Amino acid sequence: MIKILVRVWLVLSLVAVCVATDASGYKVTRKYPVPGDGGFDYIVFDGSSNRLYVSHGTEVNVLDANSGKVLGNIENTPGVHGTAIVPNLHRGFVTDGGNATVTVFDANSLKTLKTISVDKDPDFVFYDPQTKRVFVCHGDAAEITAIDPEKEEVVGKITLGGGAEAAVVDGKGNGFVNLEELAEVANFDPRALTVKQKWPITGCKTPTGLAIDSTNRRLFIGCRSKVLAVMDATNGKVITTVPIGERVDAVAFDPDDKLIFASNWDGTVSVIHQKSVDEYESVGDIQTQKSAKTMAFDAKTKRLFLSAADMESAPASNGRARMRPKPGTFNVLVVERQ
């Protein structure tokens, strides 16, 4: 009996080592230099065109995901945050935090088509194919704005009672959004534009990035308290928390390999293995570059793309020291499994 137990233990140990080795096999394989200076936020991969939409300064740089070639820019997007692409309409939507607008552009020509006024602090943005709506998450306005992408107009809002960070939908009539200051998840109806429930994220402070396992009804929440929280999307119960790096901003889930990626400001991507629906383990970090906290995932090729720059001290504001991108150092990192 003891011999059998030892053999089982050895097999399980070998499986764990293989998973850890696979995770550590990810590394930065290329860097795409991007011209221009200024701050940066979300990077978005569009599989329909194999393009990267990279927020940067007061514009969005559009890159070929395979070569890094700059294909063009969407200009005049002050305080730019995120981009959402509606493939069947060949249109894109960019959130402009600097003047509380959403820029609508032609995804073929990259020409601006329209500017939509919205409430203050538009930030994260995404397209929901089920409702055929673009959703804009607002921090200061504490709401979600719904836009009809064909009519290019606001069709409604969801009042949240707290600043909205990242959001996801499950394709079954449910949306989920992190409320950063409240450390809660709001479960909302993307069609009726109502909040169904709010759930506290036990063991988490300052939730930012969010991903979903729609099949198993699990939410993966990146928390600035240096943990990834796993939540049951049916009842809001936090199943477990797993340690991750410092100042997480984005989370992605690979349902094929059962891996969760959390990109962190400290220059790491924390990798977590979904052993089962309710069992999770850390399998190591991918070394990237300090400041590389925004990330996009290509589910087909398993590539990760991260925005990064060398950072330098900036003049203190209100007595607080801060960092800013060093001119001429902005780039997109490509992370692949070797």
pLDDT of residue 317: 64
Alpha-carbon Rg for the chain in angstroms: 20
Contacts 24+ apart (CB under 8 A), 256-260: 256/299, 256/302, 257/22, 257/302, 259/23, 259/283, 260/211, 260/220, 260/228
DSSP calls for 170-190: -SSS-EEEEETTTTEEEEEET
Q: Using the predicted structure, report yes or no on whether residue 46 has a pLDDT greater than 80.
A: yes
Mean of pLDDT over the chain? 93
User: Rounded to two decimals, what is the model's pTM?
Assistant: 0.92
Superfamily of domain 37-200: YVTN repeat-like/Quinoprotein amine dehydrogenase (2.130.10.10)
The half-sphere exposure of 137 on its side-chain side, counting CA atoms within 13 A, is 28
Q: How confident is the model at residue 216 (pLDDT cuts 50, 70, 90)?
A: very high
User: Above 80 in pLDDT, residue 22?
Assistant: no
Share of the chain above pLDDT 70, in %: 91
Predicted confidence band of residue 145 (pLDDT cuts 50, 70, 90): very high
Query: Which residues of the chain does CATH 2.130.10.10 include?
Result: 37-200, 202-312+326-338
Structural fold of domain 202-312+326-338: Methylamine Dehydrogenase; Chain H (2.130.10)
- pLDDT per position as a tens digit, 156-172: 999 999 999 999 999 99
